Structure 1
Amino acid sequence: MIKLIPPNIALLTMLFVYTIVNSCASKQKSIQDATAEESNPRLLFLNYKMSEDDNGNKTIKFINKIITEGKLKQNSYTNESVYGDLICNQLDKKSNVLQSITIKNPLVKNFEFVNDLKQFERKNVELKTAEFSLKLKLEPYTKYITINEITKNKTETKPLVKTIINQL
């Protein structure tokens, strides 16, 4: 005498087994992909030219980019920001932020010198144009780099440039 399992219970059992097997396989693949990406770190070098007109409007022009193999030894960028500083974001194809750094205003240079009394002095010089470079750890899914200026109220930013990054 053979007892048959009702079809709806057999179907639910098969679906449960399929879900368990499938979920385990996809997690292992994600871990392998993440390990592969970390074992091949890349650096992104970006060069820009920033200028300010007589009305105080700032613009940034993209000059060039270089993508190369390597690791970033240390992050020289700060998280502290003031009015006029820049926020650089690495974005994925859906414009989700992958990484964000703060860049000191390239149009303001701080010089230290010895005066006639042989004392050190500091002087801030405001420039109308300046070139600046960025060295970033390239996140694996980066599609865009955006640079925004921090506004006077420090809670808002003004977009200045968006650069497309074509990763190979």
Structure 2
Amino acid sequence: MQNSATSKITLLLLACLWLFSGCKNSKSTFKNGTEINSTPQILFLNYTIEKDINGNRTIQFINKKVVEAKLKKQIILPIDQGIEGDLILSELNKRSKILKQQLIKNPLSRTIEFVDESKNFKTKVIKTDKAQFSIRLQLQNRTKYITISNFAKITPLIKTPIH
């Protein structure tokens, strides 16, 4: 009788252990003790860009926001499709090594659609000297900086720390 009760308690404890083994923390720890958050995060960055009378562009950082979420589908424009006026966004690690790059279409040139007097759709390109633009991307754990450069030049216009 005692043997039967002990085996039932053992089975109950094994069942509880099996149930709780499926629950785990979303953080992982490396051997050296550093933690990595495995929860997906989206990074939102807001900037202003301005072109002076000489054609030089400057970018000012406005703000950033990191939220726990995952982008459903992200269309990344390849750099080889860039033209004059476009920007290159680079994700850098702590040693400033490029992890990922993507193209940002010229934020000073906006294409709008409208309906004319004869009710036909038309498009028009509007060029400005100052504009705000936003960037949204899936944040990688190793990303420590974001740089934005002119398409034709490698020198960054701005370098934004992430963490």
Could you say whether these structures have the same fold, taking a TM-score greater than 0.5 normalized by the shorter chain as the test? yes
**Which of the pair is proportionally richer in helix?**
1
Give 1:164's aligned amino acid.
P
Query: Offset at 1:77?
Result: 3.5
**C-alpha distance in 1 between matches for 2:82 and 2:36:** 31
**Structure 1 stretches lacking a partner, 5+ long:** 1-30
Query: Offset at 1:115?
Result: 1.8
**C-alpha distance in 2 between matches for 1:143 and 1:165:** 5
Aligned counterpart, 1:119: 120
Task: Verify: 1:130 aligned to 2:131, yes or no.
Answer: yes
Task: Verify: 1:66 aligned to 2:62, yes or no.
Answer: no
**C-alpha distance in 2 between matches for 1:72 and 1:38:** 17
Does the aligned pair in 2 maintain the 1:150–1:158 contact within 8 Å? no
Give 1:160's aligned amino acid.
L
Aligned counterpart, 2:43: 44
**C-alpha distance in 2 between matches for 1:42 and 1:163:** 17
User: Percent identity between the aligned chains?
Assistant: 43
Equivalences for 1:2-151 in 2 at 5 Å?
A: 39-79=38-78, 80-151=81-152
**C-alpha distance in 2 between matches for 1:86 and 1:158:** 11
Instruction: Report Cα offsets for 1:21-75 as digits up to 9, x if no partner.
Output: xxxxxxxxxx986xx9584111111010111111111010001111121111111
Does the aligned pair in 2 maintain the 1:115–1:121 contact within 8 Å? yes
Give 2:87's aligned amino acid.
L
Give 2:101's aligned amino acid.
S
Runs of 4+ residues deviating >6 angstroms = none
Query: Offset at 1:117?
Result: 2.8
TM-score by length of 2: 0.72
Aligned counterpart, 1:159: 156
Paired positions, count:
130
**C-alpha distance in 1 between matches for 2:84 and 2:154:** 10
**C-alpha distance in 2 between matches for 1:32 and 1:114:** 57
Give 2:161's aligned amino acid.
I
TM-score by length of 1: 0.70
